[in-house]
Structure 1
C-alpha cells in the first residue's frame, strides 16, 4: 500500500471504522514480507480480519507460509 493510504487505513482501523480488510490477493496489500507481517499483526490486534479473493481468510499460518515463498519468488524475478 502507498504510505498515505496505509496511514489512512491504520487510522480508520484504530477508530473501528471497519471489521474486515479485503484485497484481491495478499500481495496486493504488500509484497514486502516484513510490511505484510506488520500490517497483519496491527490489524489482527484490533480485531480486524484480512480476507482475499484468492485465499479467503488470511491468518497467522497463511502469513507464515506464503510470506517467505513470495519473498523468494520476487527475489528470483529480480535476478532474471
Structure 2
C-alpha cells in the first residue's frame, strides 16, 4: 500500500506548483519560433490612440456641460471656445 494521497498527473514539476511543460513538438520558448505572433507595433498602438481620442472628446463634452449646463453628445455640434 502506498501511504498518503499522492497521485501522478503525468507532469514533471521543477518546483511545487511549477509544473508547466510544453506539449510534444511545441518549443520551450515561443519568442522566435514559428508560434511567435510577431505583433505589429502599429496595430498594438491603435487601441491606445483610440482611447486618447475618446478621452479628448469626453473632455470637450464635460467642459461644454460645465459651461452651458446642457450635455451634447456629438462633439461636432459643440460650439468652438471663444
Determine if the TM-score, normalized by the shorter chain, exceeds 0.5: no
Look at both structures and tell me which one has the larger radius of gyration over its CA atoms. 2
Kindly indicate whether structure 1 or structure 2 has the higher relative contact order, using CA contacts under 8 Å at least 6 residues apart.
1
Calculate the TM-score normalised by the size of structure 2. Answer: 0.22
Calculate the TM-score normalised by the size of structure 1. Answer: 0.23
**Bigger share in strand:** 1
